[in-house]
């Protein structure tokens, strides 16, 4: 029996790298999937290729659609596509809304999948908690999406495009993703590591007390995607799913910093609580986009770890690297 094919779009990013490692390791030492991933840069980083031998890497430009033909010719139709590609920095989306829309709304990817005769590919698409307006706590999937910035608007447009034009999909509204560094370090600062580095200096650091999220440990998010992959491959039944994918804790930035300080034994008094309104970030940010993850827990029977435990796992893993 031939291996099932999995394509990770945006495989050199933070989640993409963790996902590729997990797909590769999922077979207890024997890779159970034919793996491929896309990258936007000229060459994929060597550490990624070395860590997942036998995988194929393809350069893909989502703005121009260049690259899909090469994937079709060398890899063929995937059984599962995970779309991690995005311009996910809200301020960058405000600066160039057209580019944000071109990359964050995966119209070219969906059209490519529709070009195959057999319509039997599951599309797992990463969305965001920033589709919510942020005027209440613990949003549910059925709450109306009212994004307040360009990033959130492009993600709502993406969800709508997929649900209107594709038959098998799982859309994951992810909160802040945190966890250990990747095998090929990503350039952006990672949430827990940034907090740890700032507090380690022993000087006062400002954190917002009035913005709330439900951060999710990266390996929990990876396990959610693996569970959806395994369900699709083993059952083959139609999937049209929208899930809030956050951790179990509704936290402000102050509370996140306190969790890191507690694990490290830092002086709590250096955490200075300030209002988000005191800083101009060049983009409107929703104040409370905490999410109810009941549907996630009930659908996949998975319970993401607490932020406190995730911080411990993250910093312990960092110490070993």
pLDDT digits (tens, 9 = 90+) for 191-209: 999 999 999 999 999 999 9
Give me the pLDDT at residue 31, please: 67
Q: Which residue has the tokens 């690297």?
A: 321
- The answer, yes or no, to whether residue 77 has pLDDT greater than 90, is yes
Q: What is the mean pLDDT of residues 281-306?
A: 95
Q: Mean pLDDT of all residues in the chain? A: 95
pLDDT tens, residue by residue, 166-175: 999 999 999 9
Q: What Cα–Cα distance (Å) separates residue 311 from each residue in 64, 177, 262?
A: 39, 12, 10
- The answer, yes or no, to whether residue 30 has pLDDT greater than 70, is no
129-155 burial, b for 16+ CB within 10 Å, e for fewer? Answer: bbbbbbeeebbebeeebebbbbbbbbb
- The answer, yes or no, to whether residue 121 has pLDDT greater than 60, is yes
- The answer, yes or no, to whether residue 176 has pLDDT greater than 80, is yes
Percent of the chain with pLDDT over 90: 88
Q: What is the mean pLDDT of residues 294-309?
A: 97
- The answer, yes or no, to whether residue 314 has pLDDT greater than 80, is yes
Percent of the chain with pLDDT over 70: 98
pLDDT band at residue 27 using 50, 70 and 90 as cut-offs: low
* pTM for this model (two decimals): 0.97
pLDDT tens, residue by residue, 268-290: 999 999 999 888 888 899 999 99
Q: Out of 28-37, 97-106, 177-186, which region has the weakest mean confidence (pLDDT)?
A: 28-37
Residues in the chain: 321
Q: Left if phi > 0, otherwise alpha if psi is -120 to 50, otherwise beta: which for 138? A: left
| Separation CA 30–CA 55 (nearest Å) | 13
Q: What is the mean pLDDT of residues 51-73?
A: 94
Q: Which of the two residues, 28 and 308, has the higher pLDDT score?
A: 308
Q: Name the nearest CA neighbour of 302 among 186, 197, 222.
A: 222
| Separation CA 262–CA 279 (nearest Å) | 26
Q: What is the mean pLDDT of residues 252-257?
A: 98
């Amino acid at each position: 029996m031939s291996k099932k094919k999995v394509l990770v779009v945006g495989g050199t990013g933070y989640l993409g790298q963790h996902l590729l490692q997990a797909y590769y390791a999922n077979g207890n030492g024997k890779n159970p999937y034919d793996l491929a991933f896309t990258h936007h840069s000229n060459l994929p980083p060597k550490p990624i290729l070395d860590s997942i031998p036998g995988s194929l890497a393809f350069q893909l430009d989502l703005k121009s659609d260049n690259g899909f033909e090469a994937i079709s010719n060398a890899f063929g139709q995937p059984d599962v596509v995970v779309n991690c590609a995005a311009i996910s920095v809200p301020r960058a989306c405000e600066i160039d809304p057209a580019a944000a829309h071109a990359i964050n709304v995966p119209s070219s990817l969906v059209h490519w999948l529709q070009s195959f005769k057999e319509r039997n590919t599951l599309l797992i698409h990463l969305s965001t908690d920033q589709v919510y307006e942020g005027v209440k706590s613990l949003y549910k999937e059925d709450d109306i999406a009212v994004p307040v910035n360009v990033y959130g608007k492009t993600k709502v447009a993406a969800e709508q495009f997929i649900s209107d034009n594709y038959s098998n999909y799982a859309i994951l509204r992810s909160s802040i993703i945190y966890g250990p560094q990747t095998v090929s370090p990503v350039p952006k600062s990672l949430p827990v590591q940034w907090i740890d580095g700032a507090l380690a200096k022993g000087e006062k650091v400002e954190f917002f007390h009035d913005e709330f999220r439900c951060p999710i440990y990266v390996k929990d998010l990876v396990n959610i995607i693996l569970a959806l992959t395994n369900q699709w491959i083993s059952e083959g039944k139609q999937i049209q799913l929208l899930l809030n994918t956050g951790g179990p804790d509704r936290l402000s930035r102050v509370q996140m910093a306190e969790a890191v300080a507690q694990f490290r034994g830092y002086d709590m008094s250096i955490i200075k609580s300030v209002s988000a309104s005191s800083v101009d970030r060049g983009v409107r940010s929703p104040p409370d986009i905490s999410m109810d993850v009941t549907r996630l827990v009930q659908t996949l029977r998975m319970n993401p770890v607490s932020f406190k435990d995730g911080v411990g796992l993250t910093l312990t893993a960092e110490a070993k690297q």
